[in-house]
Structure 1
Amino acid sequence: MKKFYLCALSLLVLQGLFAQQNGSKYNQHEAFAPGFYTQTGNMYRSASGTPGPDYWQNRADYDIQVKLDTAAKTIKGAVQINYTNNSPDELPYLWLYVDQNIYREDSRATATTDIGGGRWATPIYTQGDEISNITLKMDGKSYQPKYRITDTRLQILLPKALAGKGGKVAVQIDYGFSIPERGTDRMGRLDTKNGWIYEIAQWYPRMCVYDDVEGWNTLPYLGAGEFYLEYGDIHYSITAPSDLVIVGSGTLDNPKEVLTKKQIEQLDKAKNSDATVTIHSLDDVKSGKDHLSQKELTWKFSCINTRDVAWAASKAFIWDAARIKMQSGNQILGQSVYPEESATTNGWDSSTYYTKKAIEINSYWHDFPYPVATNVAGTVGGMEYPGIVFCSARSTGPGLWFVTLHEFGHNWFPMLVGSNERKYAWMDEGFNTFTNFYCSRIFNNGAYNNEPDKYRIARSFFKPGAEVPMTIPDVLQAANLGNEGYYKPAVGLLILRDVVLGPERFDAAFKQYIKDWAYKHPTPADFFHSMENTAGEDLGWFWRGWFYNNWAIDQAVNKVDYVNGDPTKGALITLENIGQMPLPVQMDIEQDNGQTLHLKLPVEIWQRGGTWTLQAKTTSKVKKITLDPQRQYPDVDSTNNVWPNAASTAEAIPQGVSAQDIINDYLQAIGGKDKLSAVKTYHETLTGDASGTKLNVSLNYKAPDKFAEEVNLPDMNMQVMKVVLDGDKGTMTQQGKTQPLEGKMLESFKSSLGVFPELKYQNPGYKLEAKDIQEINGKKAYRVLITDPIGQVTTSYYDIDSHLKVKTESAQGGAQFSDYKAVKGILIPHASITENMGHSAKMTATLIQINENIADSTFQ
């Protein structure tokens, strides 16, 4: 599934809600408690993290024939499933998924979709999977079985129990469905100037997994939770009008029956070319002549040892391809299909190159599991299937690289390593995000590296209200899915690789896990066991704190003394683990003589408590100590990582300069209180970039108590966040989930309403404190702490010469301001850098309107 990019200016309003509590919460008995594992080894799953000697899984082979009706926009056909019960159990019934039922008006997904809509909402309902007939073949006999459909699940009652250890049954289902235009951002249709693009997935009844852990896995398809499927060989054919280009999972079995001679020649050329080769050009699309002169064609595909297949079709497709050389030496074909609108400079003409590089770099971990890798431009923002991915037709530049890399990365997790992603998003999204970070460190010399700044993302990881990775995706709050499913598990693996185990041991263990569980079904415990056994390290303390709990990281330098008061005899450095999460300590000790000591202490220093004193072999006085010098931990308070810290080196504010004086000078510098107080409406449109992803932001304010903000990702056609406030009522929508603003959150928004918050700082309930003078971007600035009436604390910095505000900070993030320009006599910053989710967003104001009409409907 597509990566989550959360970057919203108004999140800064909420920052004070998420302050880390002071004081150590560390408890070594809890952190290092024995008995982490509840699942012990057995004959099916070994304690070493490998499949046991009697490991089994059932098998589902499919033969599918369907017809695409482009006039009615429907699919109709039949699937035969040859199911093998390798379990030791007799099965009196079978469970299958009929996922198209998610688009029915009476589906559970519809009932559990917020009224505000969202990414997985269904704006126009269908009848779902319309099943006309089911036939069984068992022991040479045919049956018309009884069956029942419950939402997205189909239960077939067998005439007799299916024997274990190899029992077989053939199930044929005749079915059809209307193709939704917007299919939970996983499939759908896109209308382009040269024709519709069809991205078809979840398009045939599929077997539920029956395993040794839970038996039948039948969680309903609600939207956020993805898929858990059996492996087998899938042969499928699509009959469609002859002017369509069709691409699908696996290999095309009948190229001579559906492709022109020219297309076949160009494909053969591409298989041996590192440069991108055009198969079907824009001229071919426009002329409409580069196809076989028949009314319909039947395209036949095969995908071997796979859990699923998907496909795409359009007469608008430009088609190009190139060879992919994996690090093992094996080669496959990479290809892209996209419409004219996407064939722009820095657009989809780079897709095949991005596909090639993503797979070549990622093959470090294991070969790509399929013979063809296909990238499809369409309505879906980003979604993965075996050998084929759907990415937004609007993506360009770094955004196209990121979504291509991420979706193809899923071919390792969960296509190759078949974990249960409906239950454990972190085992596919998190692992995949980790390998994305690895690839982006390498690709283009790191120019597109989107690895988050760990210190910045720490505020988001450990905020109150955060959940934990070990949470079912449909249970997670929409605003937390990005953290718990993607970023936090990925950062955890980076910590294991970069610090705890080191690249050599981590890589060996991670590769072994992939090798052992390729085309199988691992559980979280299997992963934990596997990593520990290959790496030779008990990591129960890490799994417990990082995946099952929300234990914050906060390491600190407490004090520095010297042996007998003599620096040449060594420094006595006292460290403190203030957070609940124990981790190894890395530190640089700079001395007055110019020498630097680099030390690493194991996690075991925290086994007897939260403080530790070490003797460093210094030869002169300590000048500076830095914990985590490479910023590899998401430490919630980086200020205490340095000794002496910024506060101790800051300049004192001159006597007689008060905090209110600093605020008054700022207000006067940007226009004066009278002019600022006369602002009754304010609109600002901003555009920007966050880790290569384009952002559009719209802000609206109307005195005295109306506010609205909307944040969109235009390349993904996706609304990230919308906030509206009208007096005492308001809502916040994030990732499609709408919730009312109430309680402390509502009071937070209300207390911060207004274009110029400094106008309110003289009001009762505000507390101002002028702290010191610090250097910000090479210039000196006053640092002022502002506590609002509900206890939120913000730190603002004001340039001592210009008096302009240059920076704000709070528990969740911050912002920097520059390029002040006059709008109706008021200086407004036209450039800003905001911080959220560990990334910086560079924003530019493209439109600012003051005291112009804003309709009240904007705030509804």
Structure 2
Amino acid sequence: MNKRFYSLLLLLGLGTAASAQHQNNPGANHGNKFEQLGTMMHDPNMYRSASGAPGPKYWQQRADYEIDVELDDAKQRITGSETVTYFNNSPDPLTYIWLQLDENEHDPKSANQKIDESQMKEKMSARDLRNIMGHGQDLGIKIKKVTDAAGKPLKFTINQTMMRVEMPNTLKPGERFRFKVDWFYNIPDRMTVGGRGGLEYFAEDGNYLYTITQWYPRLAVYSDFQGWQNKQFIGSGEFALTFGNFKVNITAPADHVIGATGECQNYSQLLTSAQLKRWNQAQTAKAPIEIVTLAEARQAMKAKAPKKKTWTYVAQNVRDFAFVSSRRLVWDAMATTIEGKKVMAMSYYGPEAYPLYNRYSTKVVAHTLQSYSKHSIPYPYPVAISVEANNGMEYPMICFNYGRAEKDGTYSEATKYGMIGVIIHEVGHNFFPMIVNSDERQWTWMDEGLNTFLQFLAELEWDVNYPTQRGPAHKIVDYMKLPKDQLEPIMTNSENIIRFGPNAYAKPATALNILRETVMGRELFDYAFKEYSRRWAFKHPTPADFFRTMEDASAVDLDWFWRGWFYGTDPVDIAIAGMRYFRMDTKNPTVENVVVKKNTEQDARHISQERNRVAGIKTAVEQDTSLLDFYNKWDRFAVTASSQAEFQQFYSSLSKEQQAFYNAKSYFYELQFQNIGGLVMPIILEWTYADGTTETEKIPAYIWRKNENQVTKVFAKGKEVKSVKLDPYRETADIDESNNAWPRQHVPSKFELFKEQQLPRGSSGGQNPMQQHRQSQPNRDAGTN
């Protein structure tokens, strides 16, 4: 096993230490879940400190790009030429470099076309057959030449989605290397072939929408913790990329509108005078202004100008570049301010998305920037763009989302909130991983999970009744209660995850929300999370850097939490196994005699006595009063002078501390808790008292440290308790709530739950409600419904 592979196993939590859930004390009921992570994380060094911050000798590479690209609308082809300047900031001499050719995932000869399972079904769709037989198209990047800056050919080798370029001379630390690559590829139809980018054809008007992503040969990351990240791209694991500066000249049909990463340098040569005037107005606008109107987009869809135009974009300190190009785009924009800095929030969308995007998209972009900047770092870029492309994918300053209305302009509530959610999510990716640049191909959760958590916060800040699906603890329960053979730890490589959404998005987002609300508290969590974001902005963090920073900035030991939530698959299932009530013997006859009388009377009652009474049977004493004597008339529970004197003598003999405990008049409740699921968590209790009042208290998770399976805890209360409930706000993701109350409470069965179930928000039994309302009031505008 080579050193690099071993270090990766430790980082991923998949090495030999992963056996038996990384237990230090297997077979025991303690010494496992609360042990420090130790060798499960890489050792700190001069590059990465033990605090989780970049070390004093931290370094990272840089790659600058100058690209000329032409989009051929007739042949649906991309032709490009790039000049790359690569800076070796590492301490290592390099004899070759690796570039990513992600478009090769669509090459029919690519391995990723063969690695997924397939099965025959009674009814096979065209998509099913295509997956078996292949798409039959000539796809994948065609490299025309690779040369140095002087035009001398360089040796290169293509291994599926990776290309190795040999250096003419060893690139020493501190040196730079400038080279050129010419290439082309046929743009895939992403609606049939799939993929992150490509084209969509609109038959009704004969036009294309091009979302051009992962389209140029891109430098892979060379890092201190793993060397070259040249893991093949097979579709699920996204990207680890190098920061740099871009200048991109995009040539396309003259009537196309182009939006891209960065800022356009030549709007004055591209836009009409009216459009340029609107653009200038948008610089200070508080509401979106249409730079290219719907009417102009519809006109361009018909005319189809034969000439070409070149749009020039520049972007500083970004890790990637993407663009959209089409003649069927409306473009709107408005300014938003982030800590005194103006950012242009913009949207591009076709006529079918106009009813939704014109009203919401750009405002959602601005809201996302504000919310994420508050919870992480201030947004540093000048632009943020949302493009409607019937999908969801992110790149620096630009993302592609969905949200199309019906033909009549109406839409369902589910479509509306789904669109808002995906815009928040994809715009939010500007922060994670476009700025805090984690390795998505190794640790999907580091961008998707962190981003989904911040998406949850932004959704709550958009609408208090937002129907959020990822973040609240109880939403992850159905996933966590699955059989273990259908689960894997969050710390699992992206290509090996079975249920990608719950594992990489929902579970880490839920874990972070539990950290914030239940384990750490908002103040400590928010400070630590901002510190992580600040430390690793425009750098390459690993999970260890995140884990260590969250602890370093908060003084909260969270190794038990990372171990359980991120390295394990155990669910939360804590049960109240039993409760006993204890009362202090006061020795006060005024109090105790009443209790003894009540208990004696209860003990004396039995079924035979009760049935004799109902039957009217008279006892001998009742029939013959001469049988009555002193004891039949004596009140054995009466308080006497001697008993009072005896009590006073007892009380005066107590110390002041003992008298204070005595005067508290406490009720003592001993609760037994069982950890059935295995994942240790805080114990949160809601006490309901006999007078109807309630109280909530939380016991830290550390109560489990000496017995991870069961614990007993005594609670002193000033009032009599009627009932107690575990996890009353459903904040720990407990998978079985039927054992969370004492006395046990009735929980409806699945059949009863089915009868009680209501349709989820946004769904309907037929037409969407807006459409139904429109049909009942045909003169009303859909935008006001």
- TM-score for both structures, normalised by structure 2: 0.77
Q: Which residue of 2 aligns with 1:626?
A: 725
Q: Which residue of 2 aligns with 1:466?
A: 487
- Aligned partner of 1:162 among 145, 148, 171: 171
Structure label with greater radius of gyration = 2
Q: Which residue of 2 aligns with 1:752?
A: none
Can you list the C-alpha shifts for 1:733-760, whole angstroms capped at 9, x where unaligned? xxxxxxxxxxxxxxxxxxxxxxxxxxxx
Provide the C-alpha distance between the structure 2 equivalents of 1:125 and 1:494, rounded to a whole number of angstroms.
45
Q: Are the counterparts in 2 of residues 282 and 340 from structure 1 also a CA contact under 8 Å?
A: yes
Q: Which residue of 2 aligns with 1:300?
A: 312
Change (3 A) 1:109 1:334: same
Return the offset for 1:472. 1.2
Q: Are the counterparts in 1 of residues 471 and 513 from structure 2 also a CA contact under 8 Å?
A: no
Return the offset for 1:351. 1.2
Instruction: Give the match's secondary structure for 1:172.
Output: strand
Q: State yes or no: 1:180 paired with 2:199.
A: no
Which amino acid in structure 2 is aligned with residue 202 of structure 1?
Q
Which amino acid in structure 2 is aligned with residue 179 of structure 1?
I
Q: Which residue of 2 aligns with 1:251?
A: 263
Provide the C-alpha distance between the structure 2 equivalents of 1:158 and 1:816, rounded to a whole number of angstroms.
69
Provide the C-alpha distance between the structure 2 equivalents of 1:630 and 1:124, rounded to a whole number of angstroms.
54
Change (3 A) 1:277 1:303: same
Identity %: 34
Q: Which residue of 2 aligns with 1:796?
A: 751
Which amino acid in structure 2 is aligned with residue 340 of structure 1?
P
Return the offset for 1:558. 2.0
Q: Which residue of 2 aligns with 1:550?
A: 569
Q: Are the counterparts in 1 of residues 469 and 475 from structure 2 also a CA contact under 8 Å?
A: no
Provide the C-alpha distance between the structure 2 equivalents of 1:31 and 1:518, rounded to a whole number of angstroms.
32
Which amino acid in structure 1 is aligned with residue 342 of structure 2?
Q
Q: How does 1:123-202 map to 2 (within 5 A)?
A: 123=135, 125-137=137-149, 143-164=152-173, 166-182=174-190, 184-192=194-202, 193-194=204-205, 195-202=207-214
Provide the C-alpha distance between the structure 2 equivalents of 1:233 and 1:844, rounded to a whole number of angstroms.
51
Q: Which has the higher helix share?
A: 2
Which amino acid in structure 2 is aligned with residue 526 of structure 1?
D
- Worse-matched range after superposition: 450-459 or 576-585: 450-459
Change (3 A) 1:375 1:490: same
Provide the C-alpha distance between the structure 2 equivalents of 1:359 and 1:180, rounded to a whole number of angstroms.
32
Q: Which residue of 2 aligns with 1:686?
A: none
Provide the C-alpha distance between the structure 2 equivalents of 1:446 and 1:64, rounded to a whole number of angstroms.
46
Q: Which residue of 1 aligns with 2:289?
A: 277
Q: Are the counterparts in 2 of residues 420 and 521 from structure 1 also a CA contact under 8 Å?
A: yes
Q: State yes or no: 1:39 paired with 2:57.
A: no
- Aligned partner of 1:351 among 329, 349, 361: 361
Q: Which residue of 1 aligns with 2:496?
A: 475
Instruction: Give the match's secondary structure for 1:28.
Output: coil
Provide the C-alpha distance between the structure 2 equivalents of 1:492 and 1:84, rounded to a whole number of angstroms.
38
Instruction: Give the match's secondary structure for 2:456.
Output: helix
Q: Which residue of 1 aligns with 2:378?
A: 367
Provide the C-alpha distance between the structure 1 equivalents of 2:158 and 2:470, rounded to a whole number of angstroms.
44
Return the offset for 1:324. 1.8
- Worse-matched range after superposition: 236-245 or 453-462: 453-462
Change (3 A) 1:841 1:113: farther
Can you list the C-alpha shifts for 1:433-453, whole angstroms capped at 9, x where unaligned? 100111111112343433465
Can you list the C-alpha shifts for 1:16-41, whole angstroms capped at 9, x where unaligned? xxxxxxxxx99432201234343221
Which amino acid in structure 2 is aligned with residue 220 of structure 1?
Q
Structure 1 unmatched ranges of 5 or more: 1-24, 648-773, 777-782, 784-794, 798-806, 808-814, 818-831, 847-860
Return the offset for 1:239. 0.8
Provide the C-alpha distance between the structure 2 equivalents of 1:63 and 1:522, rounded to a whole number of angstroms.
27
Instruction: Give the match's secondary structure for 2:365.
Output: helix
Instruction: Give the match's secondary structure for 1:617.
Output: strand
Higher normalized contact order (CA 8 Å, seq sep 6+, divided by chain length) = 1
Instruction: Give the match's secondary structure for 2:379.
Output: coil
Q: Are the counterparts in 2 of residues 383 and 391 from structure 1 also a CA contact under 8 Å?
A: yes
Q: Which has the higher strand share?
A: 1
Change (3 A) 1:115 1:289: closer
- Worse-matched range after superposition: 362-371 or 448-457: 448-457
Q: State yes or no: 1:329 paired with 2:340.
A: yes
Q: Which residue of 2 aligns with 1:597?
A: 695
Which amino acid in structure 2 is aligned with residue 270 of structure 1?
A
Q: Are the counterparts in 2 of residues 36 and 544 from structure 1 also a CA contact under 8 Å?
A: no
Return the offset for 1:62. 0.5
Change (3 A) 1:120 1:47: farther
Provide the C-alpha distance between the structure 2 equivalents of 1:291 and 1:367, rounded to a whole number of angstroms.
43
Q: Which residue of 1 aligns with 2:683?
A: 585
- Worse-matched range after superposition: 612-621 or 399-408: 612-621
Provide the C-alpha distance between the structure 2 equivalents of 1:436 and 1:124, rounded to a whole number of angstroms.
39
Return the offset for 1:845. 7.2
What is the root-mean-square deviation in Å for CA atoms of aligned residues? 2.6
Instruction: Give the match's secondary structure for 1:55.
Output: coil
Q: Are the counterparts in 2 of residues 44 and 52 from structure 1 also a CA contact under 8 Å?
A: yes
Provide the C-alpha distance between the structure 2 equivalents of 1:623 and 1:470, rounded to a whole number of angstroms.
43
Provide the C-alpha distance between the structure 2 equivalents of 1:616 and 1:120, rounded to a whole number of angstroms.
65
Which amino acid in structure 2 is aligned with residue 174 of structure 1?
D
Return the offset for 1:124. 5.1
Can you list the C-alpha shifts for 1:77-110, whole angstroms capped at 9, x where unaligned? 2011100011111111111111111111001221
Provide the C-alpha distance between the structure 2 equivalents of 1:635 and 1:120, rounded to a whole number of angstroms.
42
Return the offset for 1:619. 2.5
Return the offset for 1:321. 1.1
Q: Are the counterparts in 2 of residues 260 and 291 from structure 1 also a CA contact under 8 Å?
A: no
Q: Which residue of 2 aligns with 1:735?
A: none
Q: How does 1:667-746 map to 2 (within 5 A)?
A: none
Q: Which residue of 1 aligns with 2:392?
A: 382
- TM-score for both structures, normalised by structure 1: 0.71
Change (3 A) 1:171 1:454: same
- Aligned partner of 2:540 among 504, 516, 521: 521
Q: State yes or no: 1:213 paired with 2:222.
A: no
Return the offset for 1:229. 0.3
Structure 2 unmatched ranges of 5 or more: 1-26, 120-126, 406-414, 586-664, 768-785
